[in-house]
């Protein structure tokens, strides 16, 4: 453009401070902002590095949290057969619950009642199960059920291998058979071994009269799941006139339970009445150590947040009699039988978790405690004041 009209290029260019941005708003930049100082460039680069560093840390934390959640779900999956259901599947439990919801069937069979009880325990063990499966596509749902099944089956295989070695050692130490039980020689197990045969002998029979009859499975000495073996009894002795006395208090049964749920080392302490190592207190100390960044190996009961012994976990250890044991605990014939079952489970909880585990308090005991007593006293004073007015 020429300068013939008397104006210069500089005259036609608006001042920098009055220049408009692309969005039509006045720019707030001054002439000094057209050039970036080295110090400003350094600060910007440093901020970018800090942001990248923080983003990396967040990614690591999120990744670690996801790994921990996967590990937690993995170990909880492994606990399903131990505390929920041994022989049936999760699909069976869900199907029975759906059937009851749709049919409202009050005349359920014993097997169906057992499945429904299992579904209730499943919901308590996996509180996320219902919500998560409700939002899943069918293929994802079937994939999750497969993972649950694989985890539970893997845990059962591990427990079987663990107990195979431990039980052999316990029998050898307590009964000192000659020859000793060899975990690698199945021919030295079962009724061919005098020590094992005594433990497996049906409660209604005498192992010493006659030995040959039981070993040869002759008439009247056939061993089936209709008979409780004496290893389930306290001191391995059953009273034919009172078969409930001492039942499910066998030393090896208790050792097997502790080996699976609270560690093999804890199985050494079964003689006292819950006076040994306090498992729950140790769990709390372990949790504090984990929060402090110290790696601590957790046992099964700790992982699945188990602080009380349950009927189905006892039945898991004596797996051949699973249904019979579950029914013994979950379907007592009357109020007195239920009371005996409750006392037996309290005994188990003391033995496994120690005495510091707070037992369920009765209403009478709760009423005597200071918080409730104070509320009652204040109400009495208030009533007396109202009456006097």
Contact (Cβ atoms closer than 8 angstroms) between residue 357 and residue 308? yes
The fraction of the chain above a pLDDT of 90, given in percent, is 26
pLDDT band at 3 (very low <50, low <70, confident <90, very high): very low
213: pLDDT strictly greater than 70: no
Alpha-carbon distance 147 to 132, whole Å? 14
Among 29-38, 271-280, 315-324, 350-359, top mean pLDDT goes to: 315-324
Find the Cα–Cα–Cα–Cα dihedral 215, 217, 222, 224, rounded to 10°.
70
Average pLDDT over residues 232-259: 94
Q: Chain-wide mean pLDDT for the chain?
A: 78
Contact (Cβ atoms closer than 8 angstroms) between residue 264 and residue 166? yes
The fraction of the chain above a pLDDT of 70, given in percent, is 72
Which burial class, exposed, middle or buried, applies to 84 when counting CB atoms under 10 A from its CB (0-12, 13-18, 19+)?
Answer: buried
CB atoms within 10 A of CB 102: 8
pTM reported for the whole predicted model: 0.69
* Lowest-confidence segment of 70-84, 107-121, 169-183, 362-376 by average pLDDT: 70-84
Average pLDDT over residues 205-222: 70
17: pLDDT strictly greater than 50: no
196: pLDDT strictly greater than 70: yes
Alpha-carbon distance 282 to 86, whole Å? 29
* Burial 305-324, CB ≥16 within 10 A → b, else e: ebebbbbbbbbbbbeebbbe
* Lowest-confidence segment of 191-200, 210-219, 317-326 by average pLDDT: 210-219
145: pLDDT strictly greater than 50: yes
The larger pLDDT score, comparing residue 207 to residue 32, is at 207
Tokens for 145, please give them.
Answer: 């059920």
Block residue for tokens 């609270």: 262
Alpha-carbon distance 224 to 228, whole Å? 9
Alpha-carbon distance 163 to 7, whole Å? 102
């Amino acid at each position: 453009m020429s300068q013939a009209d008397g104006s210069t290029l500089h005259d036609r260019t608006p001042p920098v401070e009055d220049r408009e941005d692309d969005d039509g708003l006045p720019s707030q930049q001054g002439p000094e902002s057209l050039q970036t100082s080295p110090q400003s460039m350094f600060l910007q680069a440093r901020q970018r590095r800090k942001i990248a560093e923080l983003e990396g840390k967040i990614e690591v934390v999120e990744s670690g949290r996801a790994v921990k959640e996967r590990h937690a779900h993995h170990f909880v999956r492994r606990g399903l057969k131990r505390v929920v259901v041994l022989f049936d599947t999760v699909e069976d439990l869900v199907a029975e619950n759906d059937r009851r919801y749709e049919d409202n069937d009050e005349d359920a069979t014993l097997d169906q009642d057992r499945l429904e009880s299992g579904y209730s325990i499943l919901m308590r063990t996996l509180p996320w199960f219902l919500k998560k499966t409700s939002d899943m596509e069918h293929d994802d749902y079937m994939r999750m059920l497969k993972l649950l099944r694989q985890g539970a089956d893997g845990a059962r295989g591990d427990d079987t291998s663990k107990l195979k070695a431990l039980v052999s050692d316990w029998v050898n130490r307590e009964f000192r058979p000659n020859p000793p039980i060899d975990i690698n020689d199945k021919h030295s197990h079962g009724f061919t071994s005098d020590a094992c045969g005594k433990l497996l002998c049906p409660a209604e029979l005498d192992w010493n009269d006659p030995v040959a009859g039981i070993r040869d499975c002759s008439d009247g000495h056939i061993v089936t799941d209709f008979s409780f073996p004496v290893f389930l009894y306290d001191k391995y002795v059953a009273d034919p006139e009172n078969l409930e006395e001492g039942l499910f208090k066998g030393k090896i049964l208790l050792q097997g339970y502790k080996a699976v749920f609270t560690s093999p080392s804890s199985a050494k302490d079964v003689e006292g009445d819950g006076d040994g190592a306090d498992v729950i207190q140790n769990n709390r100390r372990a949790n504090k150590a984990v929060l402090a960044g110290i790696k601590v190996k957790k046992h099964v009961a700790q992982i699945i947040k188990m602080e009380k012994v349950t009927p189905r976990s006892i039945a898991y250890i004596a797996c051949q009699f699973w249904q019979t044991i579950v029914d013994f605990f979950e379907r007592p014939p009357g109020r007195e039988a239920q009371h005996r079952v409750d006392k037996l489970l309290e005994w188990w909880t003391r033995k496994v978790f120690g005495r510091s585990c707070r037992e369920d308090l009765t209403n009478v005991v709760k009423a005597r405690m200071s918080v409730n007593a104070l509320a009652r006293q204040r109400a009495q004073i208030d009533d007396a004041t109202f009456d006097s007015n």
